[in-house]
């Protein structure tokens, strides 16, 4: 943020305000662990309480690219121009930096947990048809395992033993029967169960930032249908 090559005010060092980063119309605030940038038009920056008097003094038709004002206590304010947009930064106090650092760390932790919860929620069946298809696919894996056990090919319990051919055939027939139930059986939906699952997924996000709220509804918005 401090640029030794930037032009420094030649007048007596002013008393700079302490940053508030107050939201205002026409101002975009970009927070970092060390402070924040305020971005907007020249008029919007000048109207902000963080902007010291005289920050734009001396600018006429030929606008400077960057200007730094050093305060009487050594603190600095820097404004940078890109086209008609200005980016302004005022030194933060050590206490403010500590708080910003804590906010950034908390936001990073919340973001990590939120992304994990979003992945888990996305894996929940979105409809009765999706549930049916996913259940059939999962059952296929278990059915193969059960058939292996019946045939004595599951190493930990085989040891040369297996069901008789008739028994194996009966197992296979039962498996096909269960498969048919998954394909044709009625599917019902329990909203309470779904919300309980989502609540478990979201708990680490709430723990990461107790003030975190309103996101659950946004994540879970959408219709959960039944078979046509």
The least confident of 15-19, 169-173, 201-205 is 15-19
3-class state of residue 16 by DSSP: coil
Segments making up each domain of the chain, as ranges:
7-92, 101-212
The token pair that represents 78 in the structure block: 């820097």
Residue 198: what pLDDT? 92
Residue 84: what pLDDT? 80
pLDDT > 70? residue 58: no
Q: Which of 100, 122, 124 is nearest to 33 (CA)?
A: 100
The token pair that represents 45 in the structure block: 């920056």
Q: Which of 85, 76, 79 is nearest to 2 (CA)?
A: 76
Contact 38/28 with Cβ under 8 angstroms? yes
Q: What is the mean pLDDT of residues 119-143?
A: 93
Distance CA 144, CA 140 (A): 6
Q: What is the mean pLDDT of residues 170-175?
A: 96
- Packing angle of the helix pair 128-150, 165-184 (nearest 10 deg): 180
Residue 212: what pLDDT? 60
3-class state of residue 126 by DSSP: coil
25: confidence class by pLDDT, cuts 50, 70, 90 = very high
10: confidence class by pLDDT, cuts 50, 70, 90 = very low
């Amino acid at each position: 943020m401090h640029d030794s090559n930037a032009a420094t005010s030649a007048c007596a060092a002013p008393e700079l305000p302490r940053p508030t980063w107050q939201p205002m119309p026409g101002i975009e605030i970009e927070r970092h662990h060390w402070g924040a940038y305020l971005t907007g038009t020249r008029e919007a920056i000048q109207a902000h309480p963080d902007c010291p008097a005289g920050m734009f003094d001396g600018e006429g038709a030929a606008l400077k690219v960057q200007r730094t004002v050093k305060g009487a206590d050594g603190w600095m304010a820097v404004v940078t121009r890109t086209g008609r947009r200005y980016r302004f930064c005022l030194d933060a106090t050590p206490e403010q930096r500590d708080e910003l650092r804590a906010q950034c760390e908390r936001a990073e932790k919340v973001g990590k947990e939120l992304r994990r919860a979003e992945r888990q929620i996305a894996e929940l069946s979105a409809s009765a048809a999706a549930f049916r298809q996913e259940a059939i696919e999962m059952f296929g894996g278990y059915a193969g395992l059960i058939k292996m056990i019946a045939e004595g090919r599951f190493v930990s319990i085989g040891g040369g033993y297996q069901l008789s051919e008739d028994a194996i055939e009966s197992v296979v027939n039962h498996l096909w029967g269960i498969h048919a139930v998954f394909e044709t059986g009625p599917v019902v939906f329990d909203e309470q169960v779904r919300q309980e699952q989502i609540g478990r997924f979201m708990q680490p996000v709430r723990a990461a930032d107790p003030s975190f709220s309103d996101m659950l509804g946004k994540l879970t918005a959408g219709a959960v249908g039944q078979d046509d």
